[in-house]
Amino acid sequence: MEIKLVNNEEKCISIQSFVLGKKTIICGVLLILAILFNYKYLNFSIKNINYFFDIGLKERTILAPLGISFITFSAISYLVDIYTGKAKAGNIIDCLLYLTFFPKIVSGPIVLWRDFQNQIQTREININKCVNGVNRIIIGFAKKLILADMFGMCIGEIQKSAAYGIDIISAWLCVLLYMLQIYYDFAGYSDIAIGVAKILGFDFKENFNFPYRSRSISEFWRRWHIFLGTWFREYVYIPLGGSRMGKTRTIINLAVVFFLTGIWHGASWTYIIWGATNGGIVIIERIISDKSINKKIPNIIKWSFSMFVVMICWELFRFQNMSDFWSWVSIMLGRTTFAHIDLTWRYFLDYRMIVLTSIGILGATVLGESKILVAKEQIVKTKIGFAMQEALLLCLFVVSLFCMVSSSYHPFIYFQY
């Protein structure tokens, strides 16, 4: 069974005839950014102005619309793609469908208009897509409910105990678990969004490509949140000149991109420092990429260093201010000690958490091996292999339901962005 979905353009109000000039694009983008600034960055700006200049401006109580960052980025993609001729303007219904497409509206992925528009009239709904979509949704739920939420519960217990005293190992365990939680939480949501879109006939590209296998921060950003990286490359980095205008300009362009990446995630200095740290290391990697000393460093050392940087930087996500971040780092380094500790790492790292952590680490690294991926594809092509896959996914779904029923509500981490 196959259904072709084609828009009836005669019944839709077309905006195809609008010619978007440079001034129109600039005004449109500035208006979109002004709306985003009002909801997300106004109070942050007022707070910092008051701190540095002691003006006494009053902060406002503003409730930001759900998914405001993702909607605004999609709107900018729509305008710029039309202006550059990489896509045609859609009718009003197509435009609204793109901006409010429910699988991606809350936490992405940020699909470019040129990729979305091409599928509106040509998408197909068939049994294979529906099965693949449902499978992807189940995998996403498993990542979220079995792994991410379980890691989150353990992190919450460690943080509560920190008020009374924890040991160094528990502090480091919390850092490792958050590194796994944020990956499986966001990757799980992306799987669900991609799966729902597939059921509806849309084929979205992958948003993650085993980022914890990266041997550099540059490679990490080619594998992590791929849609966001693509957006910044297409609409910020390349328009600024990319790497076509010499090393100095390339460094400036990279600095701008990572500053914006940091502040996009949230109106806080922790996010800005997180973006600056990642950007600084990417710039250093770009400078030394052709140096002989860089080529001599073993891959295992590069991977270990990159993952250590990623793990520490994620802590800037976990805390809302730098004082809390440094307090936790002080515990990790043994500079803050406690006279009495009720619960040590042995309590938190019980048998269940050992199993889940092992699965989480292996799933984020070893399962990304190309040979394993190819073998999986070959096995699933057979009838027995496909039946085994579906049986395994059914078991995962049942376990996910049990985890959901037995645990408290844990919203997706990227809902706040």
- HSE (side-chain half, CA atoms, 13 Å) at 85: 0
How many whole angstroms from its chain centre is CA 161? 29
Annotated catalytic, 225? Answer: no
Q: Within 10 A of 207 (CB to CB), how many other CB atoms are there?
A: 25
Catalytic residue among 225, 265, 340, 410: 265
Tokens of 392: 């395994």
Tokens of 219: 């490679």
Cβ neighbours for 334, distance < 8 A, ≥ 6 positions apart: 168
- What is the set of active-site residues? 265
